Amino acid sequence: MLITLKDGKTMELEAPITGLELAGKLSQALKKEALAMHVNGKLEGLSTQITDDAQVEFLTFADEDGRKVYRHSASHLLAQAVKRILPNTKLAIGPAIENGFYYDFDSEEPFSPELLKKLEKEMDKIVKANYPIERFELPREEAIAFCREKGEPYKVELIEDLPEDSVISFYKQGDFTDLCAGPHLPSTGKLKAVALQQVAGAYWRGSEKNKMLQRIYGTAFDTKENLKAYLDRLEEAKKRDHRKLGKELGLFMLAEEGPGFPFFLPKGTVLRNTLLEYWREVHKKYGYVEIITPMILNRELWERSGHWDHYKNNMYFTKIDEQDFAVKPMNCPGGMLVYKNEPRSYRDLPLRCGELGLVHRHELSGTLHGLMRVRCFTQDDAHIFMTREQVKDEIKNVVRLFDEVYSLFNLKYEIELSTMPEDHIGTVEEWEENQNILRSAIEEMGKSCTINEGDGAFYGPKLDFHLEDCLGRTWQCGTIQLDSQMPERFDLEYTGADGEKHRPVMIHRVVFGSVERFIGIITEHFAGAFPTWLAPVQVKVLPITDRAAERSKELAAKLDSLGFRVETDLRNEKIGYKIREAQMQKVPYMLVIGDKEVESGEVAVRSRKGDMGTMSAESFIEQLTAEVKERRL
């Protein structure tokens, strides 16, 4: 038979041959690193026999499908350990998930942290035993009888939901067998680094009508070093949790009286307003005008835009004068009415309208998460109206704006092109043309994108910008949506150079995405230690003696008059205590003033990183002015 490898090389081999044997023929290093394979595009385990001509691609931990097989095998490793320690436990399901796996169990014994430690030790024994992981199949009725005999009612239920002519697959490793479609690793010894993380509750099949099971979450990596690095990042992420920091730094609060509706506290409001001042500045630079549209508009408008049909389940409603109205979940229909307010000429285009619009969306209570997932938030929206000929240049102009904003916060990004969904409006031809324009615009800028099939907005394809923070986590924030449908639905027009009426094209775009969510992201990104220009309190003046208090007040007043955000700590506390408290509040600069500084007219300067020495107040103000003006990191 003829085997064609990923690089195009071919091999003539005697059939049959397993994937593991084939990998060994290529190199011992590949045999060691390979976890699974694609055979003619289908994901297979390395124990699978290849019996005919095939295209074969070997998968390692660097490949998404390789990690999926590895982590799914780790879930079986966990299940085997649970059955050894708690034999009466009933097995449910155990899939691989992003960055790990979980398995759901029905057990009378509560799963404690002590039990997780016992399970990890038992898992180590199973790995060292290096049991072959062997697949076998049974007809549906035999499979049901097999699972009943083993006392596994959840497995029986899963099989009974399959068609009568199904052939059911199982995987066996040592004394453990589990119902599974696979594929899996060749043996348990391949699992080099596995850790159990936490226990949670989960309803069987996700329905609250069913029994609550116990879910164990875990993760698995190809080396102990990579596992440790990942767990260290998780610990660092806990310290940076914006909900924790938001409370400690007095930025925002959440109340039972308004779940999903955040309250910004004084310091958080300063942070937010500073961020929005920058937003306005950069948008003015890029040629935007700012508008404000109403929060509530009537049903007819939302039907015309298509949101009534496509987004109704996420909207809030009210009645005014016996008419149906909706609280806006997005700003675009209001932007259409602004465009239609007066006649437009080709000389007016492109027209770039920015809006900091408060929107409301009905999110399920279980999905709410600090500032990251809320029910009301401010979209830093913009709608750009243009001629067809201007589209590509406008896309590039938006990307340049994104580059400037994200680089200010030291956030890298990757771009994803989301294409036509099933519930789209408009013709396939229009969609394909707009998708090609988006792709070619960013490629001409020397950038690349991955394709996210079928995830475009219902009215147009989009470029989504996924930001990467200092912990390597990604967040979807910016988006550029190219839309030919809304201008048609709202009958938007402009007069062309030929004196005739033409239909504009429009771009919907956001930079931050949600102001609230972006604040959550940068709070975690900077661990609450915001750059000086953004910090709610930029300077804290700390007098040591009563004599120094008057000098401290004078200096604080001067800093305040120059526009800096300053506080003075006049409490009768030791200076070490005051410094530690200011550091806990992540204040960028502390000015320590004692009798010596009063005499010399200087100040002892400390940053968040440590002692900066003594300097004149004028010299410090000069340095601070430059740092804030240039918005340094």
Query: Could you give phi then psi for residue 541, rounded to 5 degrees?
Result: -95, 130
- Residues tagged active-site: 332, 361, 379, 381, 383, 462, 508
Identity at 400, one-letter amino acid code: R
Q: Give the burial string for 405-439 (b: 16+ CB within 10 Å, else e).
A: bbebbebebebbbbbbeeebbbeeebbeebbebbb
Q: Please, are residues 91 and 79 in contact by the beta-carbon 8 Å criterion?
A: yes
Q: SS3 of 351, please?
A: strand
3-class SS at 398? helix
Cβ proximity of 578 and 587 under 8 Å: no
Contacts of 434 (CB under 8 A, 6+ apart): 460, 461, 482, 484
In three-state secondary structure terms, 597 is helix
Residue with tokens 């609230």: 516
Cα of first residue to Cα of last residue in the chain, in angstroms, is 60
Per the document, the length of the chain is: 633
Query: Is the distance from CB of 468 to CB of 412 less than 8 angstroms?
Result: yes
- Asked if 570 and 550 touch (Cβ cutoff 8 Å), the reply is no
Q: Rounded to whole angstroms, how far apart are CA atoms 351 and 286?
A: 11
- Distance, CA of 88 to CA of 109 (rounded, Å): 10
Q: Which helix (H) or strand (E) holds 24?
A: helix 19-26
